[in-house]
Amino acid sequence: MSAHDRRRSRLLGPAAALAATALLATACGGGDDDARDVAVIIDQERCDTNREAGPITFVTGYHYQASVTQLEVVAAEAMGLFDSLCLDVTIQPGNGDLMGNAQLVSAGTAHFTAMSNEAEVLQADARDHRIVGLATYGHVPIATLLTGTDVKDLTDLEGGTLGHQSLLPAPLEAMLVAADVDLDSIEQVEAGYDPGVLPRGQVQALTGFRSNEPHRLDAMGEEYTQWLPEDFGVVGSFGVMVASPEWTEEHPTATEDFLRAVGRAFDHCSEEAEECVGYAADLDLAGYDTEHNLQVWDTERDLVASSTPEGEPRGFVDLELTEREGETLLDNGELDEIPDPGPLFDTRYLEAVHDGGDPIWPDEG
């Protein structure tokens, strides 16, 4: 028995519990020597249609970090939810090059991937990467600016040094502009991925993700102040699921059921975070900080819940906010013009597997 099959055997209980009463107890491919028995919960016709889509590759944004749009996919595969919908999904770890991932999807090498925010979908379009946004799970900026507790107003940063990973994120630049900060008076430097540069005084401000660096500083026992773009009227997003527009048009039921399984896994992981983070840890061969990744998931999950209006499906897209987010890229020169966001997002597949704000699982009627 392979390691994958041993893990599948270990996870059969949770998968069956989520599937409740299975409609079929057979592999819908039928007849293949390597087919596994699964709890199939869709009718044979839909199962066959999904099988015809062939192997499906999802590329993570950054390794197996427990971020929204990543952990749910890992959990859905581990729990057998994709199998129960007759989808053959392979998860490929990304290295943080999100535009590179978008290019893979555009070229048809991959089928789904996660982007950090909707602004990146606009940027990908400007680079002629053909992708379509299917769902946006978070509707606040994930970027945050961290300073020492001595900074009482963002203008206090003038004359100081701001550290970032590669560039100043657009929502943070918009926040500083809204706070009347003279950006030309601030030295910007690449600070790497050690948040300790802030308490050591090597920088006076540090960019980060609110689900990451604050938790690392907390673990160090350091004090800091966190500045959030939405407090200054800046809109943003995070956790965007994108796909190939040609592939989704050709395989609509597979697209719907991929999102259905991901949504089901999100609900499960909201209640069983340690279990789901454990699935990601099983895939990571380089060591995995389980405690930190639990914090990443809990923070982002809570942000998704708090930023999703009642009655809207989790993952809804507000094109007005998308355009406003694009304006931040226009203002800082990262886009020459804002494309029409309408053709770049398609929520038909998400809406097809929701009844209002509630996800639909086939065997529950």
Q: What confidence score (pLDDT) does residue 306 get? A: 96
Nearest to 74 by CA among 104, 47, 114: 114
Confidence of residue 37 (pLDDT cuts 50, 70, 90): low
> CATH number of 3-140+237-364: 2.30.42.10, 1.20.1250.20, 3.40.190.10, 3.40.50.300?
3.40.190.10
Q: What confidence score (pLDDT) does residue 18 get? A: 39
Task: Return the structure tokens found at 239.
Answer: 């956790």
Q: What confidence score (pLDDT) does residue 179 get? A: 97
For residue range 200-210, list pLDDT tens digits in order: 999 999 999 99
Angle at 209 between CA 203 and CA 213, to 5 degrees: 55
Sequence-ordered list of residues with C-beta below 8 angstroms from that of 108, at least 6 positions apart, any chain: 244, 246, 247
User: What ranges do the domains of the chain cover?
Assistant: 3-140+237-364, 143-232
CA dist 41 and 187 (Å) reads: 57
- The residues with which 145 forms a beta bridge, in sequence order, are 207, 227
Model confidence, pTM: 0.86
Q: In Å, how far from its chain's centre is CA 32?
A: 34
Nearest to 84 by CA among 218, 222, 265: 265
CB 275 within 8 A of CB 293: no
> In CATH terms, are 3-140+237-364 and 143-232 the same topology?
yes
CA dist 18 and 72 (Å) reads: 14
Q: How many CB atoms lie within 10 A of CB 127?
A: 10
For residue range 327-345, list pLDDT tens digits in order: 988 888 888 999 999 999 9
- Is the per-residue pLDDT at 8 higher than 80? no
- Is the per-residue pLDDT at 34 higher than 50? no
Q: How many CB atoms lie within 10 A of CB 148?
A: 18
Q: What confidence score (pLDDT) does residue 13 get? A: 34
CB 194 within 8 A of CB 146: no
Q: What confidence score (pLDDT) does residue 38 get? A: 64
Query: DSSP letters along 315-329, please?
Result: T---HHHHHHHHHHH
Q: The tokens 């997002």 sit on which residue?
A: 345
Mean pLDDT within 183-190 = 96
Q: What confidence score (pLDDT) does residue 36 get? A: 52
Backbone phi and psi for residue 138, each to the nearest 5 degrees, phi listed first: -115, 135
- Is the per-residue pLDDT at 42 higher than 60? yes
- Is the per-residue pLDDT at 19 higher than 70? no
Packing angle, helices 71-78 and 252-271, rounded to 10: 100
> CATH number of 143-232: 3.40.50.920, 3.50.50.60, 3.20.20.410, 3.40.190.10?
3.40.190.10
- The terminus-to-terminus CA distance of the chain in angstroms comes to 36
Q: What confidence score (pLDDT) does residue 73 get? A: 98
CA dist 339 and 342 (Å) reads: 9
For residue range 50-98, list pLDDT tens digits in order: 999 999 999 999 999 999 999 999 999 999 999 999 999 999 999 989 9
CB 277 within 8 A of CB 66: yes
- Is the per-residue pLDDT at 347 higher than 60? yes
Q: Percent of the chain having pLDDT more than 90?
A: 81
For the chain, what is the mean pLDDT?
89
CA dist 332 and 187 (Å) reads: 17
For residue range 188-198, list pLDDT tens digits in order: 999 988 999 99
For residue range 225-270, list pLDDT tens digits in order: 999 999 999 999 999 999 999 999 999 999 999 999 999 999 999 9
Task: Return the structure tokens found at 67.
Answer: 């971020």
CA dist 66 and 300 (Å) reads: 9
From 23-32, 33-42, 179-188, the region with the lowest mean pLDDT: 23-32
- Is the per-residue pLDDT at 25 higher than 70? no
CA dist 363 and 249 (Å) reads: 25
